[in-house]
Amino acid sequence: MKIGVPKETRSGETRVAATPDSIKRLGSKIAGVKFLIETGAGTAAHFPDESYKAVGAEIVDRKTALGAELVLKLHRPDEEEVGLMSKGALLLSTIEPFKNDGLMEKLAARGVDAIGLELIPRISRAQSMDVLSSQANIAGYRAVIEAAAHFGRFLPTMMTAAGSAKAAKVIVLGAGVAGLQAIATARRMGANVEAFDVRPEVKEQIESLGAKFIEIDIGESGSGAGGYAKELSPEAKAKQQKGLTERLKKADIVITTAQIPGRPAPLLVTEEAVMGMAPGSVIMDMAASTGGNCALTEAEKIVVKNGVTLIGTTNLLSLVPADASNFYARNLVNLMYLIVKPGEPPALNLDLQDEIVAASLVTHGGAVRFQRR
């Protein structure tokens, strides 16, 4: 079986879907697989072609990598990439299935089966395959680093002969995987941390990391299916914004992480809140790619409004490319243990009765299986 790994072409992307480590891991359990790595695919993540050759991979051109029986990617393919894939091939990639732009229909017409990695269910046996969680963990860590780099003062309390500085006050909005890692990182750096989430059940997790849970009565629970937050009613949104605004004005750093699958990011930080923050404060908006949690965020830009720095970087993961690639690639290896049947030669085995496969397989046998809500 040939597994192709093309170079990612999205602007600013430095990660790669397979690493020398992941190739060794898969080969140790499933003999007979051959990795075809596009020239330079791992260079930006600090994995040169020679490191792939050292573990038995073959360095090939783009057409050959995309024409493999199994193709591994980070981002959804574009039309040109779909056209280079082989009929009957399987694609493992994020698909962004809620976008109604015809991609899944093009994959189906090409005869390409595709698993949308963001659709892997949040169940115990799928945890090791969950790319959203592994990547969000890294993004939450990097968000704090970026915010601290733009903050003109210390995060921890500092006592010196020249005087002392108080610990920074950090507020994290959203306590999913990224938010919890942001809380943990900011606490390790010595900041005073508070956090808010519309799901009351995460209070214990927030407090276990040494942060204070912000209590706001919004009149309803924001807990949705699969552990995700759901969209609030207009009334609850208004109460949430009102309750947060005065608190946010007192923050030195605000890190927002709130997103709802398939929908624009909820507005949490109003223009009034930004204008009330002290000059030198920082807002790191991790939801910038889906509209932003802050009213003044500009995606892919770092701007200053009323003395407040707003960071709209949308791919924090590309700032930690080696570890982000390794984590992502290991997730794919664990998924391949499920869908690749060992043998002479190994073969794809998509069991539609398996809940992981059934939930994430968006195209199969020339048809689109995913149903947009």
326-351 pLDDT per residue, tens: 999 999 999 999 999 999 999 999 99
337 part of the active site: no
User: Is residue 228 pLDDT above 70, yes or no?
Assistant: no
- From the candidates 133, 135, 259, 281, give the one annotated as an active-site residue: 133
- From the candidates 113, 130, 197, 252, give the one annotated as an active-site residue: 130
User: Is residue 231 pLDDT above 80, yes or no?
Assistant: no
Q: What are phi and psi of 172, to 5 degrees?
A: -110, 125
- pLDDT for residue 220: 80
122 part of the active site: yes
pLDDT band at 261 (very low <50, low <70, confident <90, very high): confident
User: Is residue 248 pLDDT above 80, yes or no?
Assistant: yes
**Is 130 within 8 Å of 331 (Cβ atoms)?**
yes
| pLDDT tens per residue, range 276-328 | 999 999 999 999 999 999 999 999 999 999 999 999 999 999 999 999 999 99
Q: Cα separation of 231 and 194, whole Å? A: 22
- From the candidates 228, 247, 323, 337, give the one annotated as an active-site residue: 228
Q: Cα separation of 174 and 328, whole Å? A: 23
Q: Cα separation of 186 and 168, whole Å? A: 9
| pLDDT tens per residue, range 171-226 | 999 999 999 999 999 999 999 999 999 888 899 999 999 999 999 988 887 766 66
Identical fold between 2-119+321-361 and 136-319: yes
Domain ranges of the chain: 2-119+321-361, 136-319
- pLDDT for residue 161: 87
Residue 92's DSSP bridge partners are 72, 115
User: Is residue 160 pLDDT above 90, yes or no?
Assistant: no
- From the candidates 101, 127, 263, 372, give the one annotated as an active-site residue: 127
- pLDDT for residue 226: 62
pLDDT band at 373 (very low <50, low <70, confident <90, very high): low
pLDDT band at 233 (very low <50, low <70, confident <90, very high): confident
- pLDDT for residue 365: 95
133 part of the active site: yes
What is the pLDDT of the chain when averaged over all its residues? 95
User: Is residue 229 pLDDT above 80, yes or no?
Assistant: no
Q: How is domain 2-119+321-361 classified at the architecture level of CATH?
A: 3-Layer(aba) Sandwich (3.40)
228 part of the active site: yes
Residues 6+ apart with CB under 8 A from 215: none
Burial class (CB in 10 A: 0-12, 13-18, 19+), 156: middle
Token digits for 161?
A: 């002969």
Say whether the peptide bond before residue 77 is cis (omega within 30 degrees of 0).
no
130 part of the active site: yes
Q: What are phi and psi of 275, to 5 degrees?
A: -65, -20
Q: How confident is the model over 80-104, as a mean pLDDT? A: 96
| Domain 136-319: which CATH number of 3.90.1150.10, 3.40.50.720, 3.40.228.10, 3.20.20.80 | 3.40.50.720
Q: Cα separation of 201 and 185, whole Å? A: 21
User: Is residue 47 pLDDT above 80, yes or no?
Assistant: yes
pLDDT band at 148 (very low <50, low <70, confident <90, very high): very high
Q: Cα separation of 324 and 346, whole Å? A: 28
Q: How confident is the model over 111-121, as a mean pLDDT? A: 97
Answer positive or negative: Cα dihedral of 252, 258, 263, 267.
negative
- pLDDT for residue 369: 96
Residue 282's DSSP bridge partners are 253, 309
Report CA-CA distances (Å) from 131 to 73, 82, 237, 270. 12, 22, 29, 31
